[in-house]
Structure 1
């Protein structure tokens, strides 16, 4: 054990003995059911980190959809289909922007830099 670990363990023991943990919210109550119960144990920590940092499954899904639509647009030769994909991309980007703005995150990622290029080309 390193010194930091020893010191922190000692402080936790003293706080427990002094009753400093007795008035914590939820003291003596069962822990809430983990919403990641269906996730394999080796992936739970990664999911918790993502969730605690504000990353959601919906955000990940939208990012994948945006990337897929952009790839389809690059490979599309039909002007009508390309226009349909562009409208769909605009809808997804709007939804993504709204989601990010609610979290207070600036949306200056590469996805939107690519989008600027599509607007000027379109």
Structure 2
């Protein structure tokens, strides 16, 4: 279903175009900014520009690193400490995924 004002807006824009009100506007012929895109597109652009990563991605990388470290350790105390770190990271990762699924 169309918005009730859509026909009126279309008529106003068409009349303005006929009168030439839309000619020579600043930025004419240039690409639109990200303002017309959805919130996710804007957020993704900002995160990319600032080299930011979602917390779940960071935690997943830390889990991989912790698993790799665990494979190299032979001392039982060091292995136990690393397993504790790994379990903590996995718990935080699971909570982050659950929060993302639940709240977006």
Q: TM-score, normalization: structure 1? A: 0.43
Higher relative contact order, structure no. (Cα contacts within 8 Å, ≥ 6 residues apart): 2
Q: Which protein has the larger Cα radius of gyration, Structure 1 or Structure 2? A: 2
TM-score (norm 2): 0.50
